[in-house]
Chain A
Amino acid sequence: AQSVAQPEDQVNVAEGNPLTVKCTYSVSGNPYLFWYVQYPNRGLQFLLKYITGDNLVKGSYGFEAEFNKSQTSFHLKKPSALVSDSALYFCAVRAGFSGNTPLVFGKGTRLSVIA
């Protein structure tokens, strides 16, 4: 069965500093990996995905993530954090790509960027 682990409940970073939100996964077969962000009173917004190809994936709002197959990780990164990046971040995995394959989510990491 697929699973996702986000080992940090909370990440605090100063504005302008680089940020990393960690994610590791477990899946049989090829992983399809996603990051979503949730702002207060909003739905889950798609940030980026890894399907195949380059291990470094670039997404919305300057975020990127690096797929590391040997470490089964897909950490989310941004070179310079903004206060507006403060939100709840979810990593998710799909084990297959038929249309009905559900996403399996991590428990989320709350990012707090301090001015």
Chain B
Amino acid sequence: EPEVTQTPSHQVTQMGQEVILRCVPISNHLYFYWYRQILGQKVEFLVSFYNNEISEKSEIFDDQFSVERPDGSNFTLKIRSTKLEDSAMYFCASSEGASGISSYEQYFGPGTRLTVT
């Protein structure tokens, strides 16, 4: 069964450093998302991406964040200058979004745990 993959599984970085989290969505999916979960808190939406541009973003997704689909398979989240409060589990998701209500089901990757020290 196809699945969303994410690398690395755990990333440790120093405050102020740039990090790139990588995701490979399911191959025929058209919509891509990033969510994050700070330890002990809710899973929160960051951004959705369709047709090579951001389609929706939350207030969390400020100028320090950016997303890119550099090729036909990868979907990346970049944090330009990490802060301690960016420490969280980051989940990538994708959905087919071709047609019909059921196509908008979101499939999640296993997550990348980001630790900022």
Contact A105 B104 (CB under 8 A): no
Given the known A-B contacts A43-B4, A43-B91, A49-B105, are A102 and B45 also in contact in the complex, defined by CB atoms under 8 Å? yes
Min C-beta distance of B27 to chain A, whole Å: 17
Complex partner residue of B43 from A42, A44, A46, A51, CB under 8 angstroms: A44
Query: What residues of chain A lie closer than 8 Å to B42, measured between beta carbons?
Result: 105-108
- Can you identify 7 A-B contacts, CB atoms within 8 angstroms? A43-B4, A90-B43, A99-B50, A100-B31, A102-B35, A102-B45, A107-B42
Complex Cα distance, B101 from A42, in Å, reads: 26
Residues of B within 8 A of A41 (CB): 9, 110
Query: Measuring CB to CB, which residues of chain A are less than 8 angstroms from any residue of chain B?
Result: 32, 34, 36, 41-46, 49, 51, 90, 92, 94, 97-108
Interface range on chain B (Cβ under 8 Å from partner): 20 to 34
Q: A27: shortest Cβ distance to chain B, in Å?
A: 14
Query: How far does the Cβ of B99 sit from chain A's closest Cβ, in whole Å?
Result: 10
| Alpha-carbon distance A94/B95, docked complex (angstroms) | 14
Known interface pairs A100-B31, A100-B50, A102-B58. Does A43 touch B108 (Cβ–Cβ under 8 Å)? yes
| Contact status of A44 and B108, CB under 8 A, knowing A105-B43, A105-B44 | yes
State whether the Cβ of B111 lies closer than 8 Å to any Cβ in chain A: yes
Question: Given A90-B43, A100-B48, A43–B31 Cβ distance below 8 Å?
Answer: no
B116 contacts the other chain (CB 8 A): no
Question: What is the bound-complex CA distance between A36 and B45, given in angstroms?
Answer: 15
